[in-house]
Amino acid sequence: MIHNHDLLFAEVGKKRRLHIYLPDDYYENNQPYPVMYFFDGQNLFFDQAATYGKSWGLSEFMQSFSKPMIIVGLECGHEGNERLSEYCPYDVTSPYFGHFTGIGQQTMEWLVQKVKPFIDTTYTTYPFREATGIAGSSMGGLMALYAAGAYNHIFSKAACVSSAIQLCLPQITDDLARSAIDSNTRIFLSWGTEESPKDADDIWQTSTAKANKQVAAYFSDRQAAAYLYCQEGGQHREADWEKQVPLFMDFLWLH
């Protein structure tokens, strides 16, 4: 079942919607559940609610996934550059996007200080690090990566799907180098061959692949588990990201 709740994001003075998936027997079981947070929550469950008309089909996937949990999808603003700003931890000047001010750090503070406490007090959860994950795609993937470093004491698992890490690679790697990353961390990093610059014959030597491998090393060097996945034929779209859901959910939660 899906519940919606609008929660004030004080940094922008507006409410942001939470799309909350509960296991079908949630109200009968009276047992605590792990929680996984996703960015771009409107794209998780229903095609009709998704930004581009295609969801990740997460509700259907969770019906058969062997580890029941609560899924919390955070929706960002959709006006102008709101998504770019809310989902980037840094100020960025890009040839494609121009200059914009990132408030992703404030977004994460809101998630940790307001959203997570709301979820943990409203629903029956395991609030501990070991039972808390985070995920996203594109800019949301960048945010999941940032969270896995800066908030590693909160999130033990992260799925960073087609992450926009090259938008701010020097900044994110500087932060990861300073982060206290626990060895009990699992991180999934992916990209698609059709969304990456074809700047090398070997798909594992493209600039996108190298950026993801560079990021993964900050985790594996601390004995954390990093899974690098290159999706053959993968494009920058929900239909291809949906196909990766079983991969990252299995890696993050069942191993």
The DSSP code for 33 is B
> Can you state the angle between helices 169-178 and 207-220, rounded to 10 degrees?
10
**Full DSSP string of 150-165:** HTTTT-SEEEEES--G
CA 94 to chain centre: 22
Q: Is pTM beyond 0.85 here?
A: yes
pLDDT at 96 over 80: no
pLDDT at 231 over 80: yes
pLDDT at 80 over 90: no
Residue 228 confidence class, pLDDT cut points 50, 70, 90? very high
Whole-angstrom distance, CA of residue 107 vs CA of residue 86: 6
Which residues constitute the domain of residue 56?
2-253
Who's near 7: CB < 8 A, 6+ residues apart? Answer: 15, 16, 17, 18, 114, 115, 118
Whole-angstrom distance, CA of residue 70 vs CA of residue 12: 27
Number of domains in the chain: 1
pLDDT of 192: 96
Give the torsion through C-alpha atoms of 5, 108, 160, 223, to 10 deg. Answer: -130
φ and ψ at 73, to 5 degrees?
-100, 120
Can you give the CATH number for the domain in which 61 is found? 3.40.50.1820
Residue with more model confidence, 195 or 159: 159
pLDDT of 26: 94
Residue 93 confidence class, pLDDT cut points 50, 70, 90? confident
pLDDT of 95: 80
* Cβ contact 145:160 at 8 Å: yes
Q: What is the mean pLDDT of residues 159-168?
A: 97
pLDDT of 31: 94
pLDDT of 53: 93
Beta-carbon count within 10 A of 122 CB? 12
Q: What is the mean pLDDT of residues 50-71?
A: 95
pLDDT at 13 over 90: yes
**What percentage of residues in the chain have a pLDDT greater than 70?**
100
Average pLDDT, the chain: 96
What pLDDT digit, counting tens, does each position of 105-158 carry? 999 999 999 999 999 999 999 999 999 999 999 999 999 999 999 999 999 999
Residue 58 confidence class, pLDDT cut points 50, 70, 90? very high
pLDDT of 199: 87
pLDDT of 197: 82
